[in-house]
Amino acid sequence: MPSQLLAPLFGSPAMEAVWSDEAAVVAMVAFETALAAAQAEAGIVPPTAAAAIAATDPAALDVAALAEAAGVAGNTAIPLVKMLTALVTTADPDAAKWVHYGATSQDAMDTGLVLQLREAFKVIEADLARAMAAAATLARAHRDTPMAGRTWLQQALPITFGLKMAGTLDALMRHRDRLAEARPRILSLQFGGAAGTLASLGDKGPEVARLLAGRLNLSLPDTPWHGQRDRILEAASLMAGLVATSAKAARDVALMMQTEIGEVLEPAAPGRGGSSTMPHKRNPALSATILGAAGLAPQLLATIAAGGAGEHERFAGGWQSEWLALPELARLTGGVVAKLAELLEGLEVKPERMAANLAATRGLLMAEAVQMALAPDLGRLVAHDRIEAACRTAVAEGRDLIDVLAEDPQITAHAGRDRLAALLDPAHYLGAAGTFVDRVLARYAGIGRD
């Protein structure tokens, strides 16, 4: 994060390490080292020169001086290559002339970015696995725990808390699948030289590219992608999608934590979720942080999407905007997924409050269940009208719905009080909730056997 104060709040230590300035330098030097080795294997660069370049320690590069020089040069690769060349010169002057041979700045920066993305994906996958495991635990434990389902922020019909968590797990598993499927496309070598033809290497260009991709363990694209930014956009879209799914779960938790609802509580920890003035407060701090990041992610994604509409083979402006937007989006995503895992792992569930909220409407929540049960006898429209009228009376008079229904002879002709009581029991109107939970958990159980 640009701010050391906010990094622990919105980021994660593991993801911060991936996107540090030092990590960016290491990634670009890795490209330069692998390039020299690949060219040596192809018979272009003397093996001794490749060895001298490989012996250079990235930590010897002055990051502060590099940053200052980048402000003049227009990118970080140009001064990095100059500094790397100077270091190699001190050890082997003859080897220095082979540094960055046949490459362009964007080759080093884009491939370095891809190497950082590979590490970022590892961090995301580790925390995503934690979040999925926690969601699975909650879905399994609360498969049959009834709660009020809500539409338009109003109570609608009974669901189970297990179903809500299974929905989260279902989405997280789809993100996992998308990430696995996209990795070969995104983690691809960028090596095209000045205009994407590798003309500087003569007829050896394709061979060097193949060897370089192998050394870096990256996929080999059919063409260099200086001017085609869809790989970067796909990475950004994957991360923004993860943030959105995490934010949906966090918003539900925050709403369920409201004092009047009280169905769940975020994990407790010293100093977390309190107020600087109100000792009693237990605020949804983790959820708020996730939601705060979610407010930024769409704009960062839009920046990257807009940047892809560049000019010709290599362009100005859009590519540069990625340098800021993509690492920031990755940092936010890393922080969000780590915090979602923490949120779900320690979530306190209150089934008794869920039951109390189900009873809050004094039976109105179950009106559809009674209507559907009586429709075969009365007809759907008649049943709807009779139940609707009973609901209006119950609300106007502050009465339990069962008492009003028991006074309607059209209804009691087909359903006595005992049957009405059963129909008004939320546990008897959960539909296929349990089946849906079981399906998701079965798919999750198969992940370990992939």
Q: How far apart are CA 322 and CA 328, in angstroms?
A: 9
Contact 56, 87 (CB under 8 A): yes
Question: Measured in whole angstroms, how far is the alpha carbon of residue 90 from the centre of its chain?
Answer: 45
Q: How far apart are CA 34 and CA 297, in angstroms?
A: 34
- The one-letter code for the residue type at 80 is L
Q: How far apart are CA 253 and CA 63, in angstroms?
A: 42
Torsion-angle region of residue 205: left (phi > 0), alpha (psi -120 to 50) or beta?
Answer: alpha
Q: How far apart are CA 150 and CA 133, in angstroms?
A: 25
Query: Which among 87, 94, 100 has a CA at the least distance from the CA of 61?
Result: 87
Query: Which among 110, 143, 43, 184 has a CA at the least distance from the CA of 442?
Result: 143
Tokens of 411: 């209804």
Contact 294, 336 (CB under 8 A): yes
Verify whether residue 237 is a known catalytic residue: no
Q: How far apart are CA 158 and CA 432, in angstroms?
A: 11
| Residue length of the chain | 450
Q: How far apart are CA 371 and CA 366, in angstroms?
A: 9
Give 156's contacts (C-beta < 8 A, 6+ positions apart). Answer: 148, 149, 150, 365
Selected catalytic residue, list 185, 200, 272, 275: 275
Q: How far apart are CA 410 and CA 371, in angstroms?
A: 12
Tokens of 31: 């490209």
Q: How far apart are CA 415 and CA 376, in angstroms?
A: 12
Query: Which among 144, 138, 141 has a CA at the least distance from the CA of 170?
Result: 138
Helix (H), strand (E) counts: the chain: 20, 4
Q: Are strands 146-151 and 348-349 parallel, antiparallel or unpaired?
A: unpaired
Verify whether residue 287 is a known catalytic residue: no
Q: How far apart are CA 437 and CA 444, in angstroms?
A: 11
267-295: b or e for each residue (b if 16 or more CB lie within 10 Å)?
A: eeeeeebeeeeeeeeeebbbbbbbbbbbe
Selected catalytic residue, list 178, 215, 282, 314: 314
Residues taking part in catalysis: 275, 314
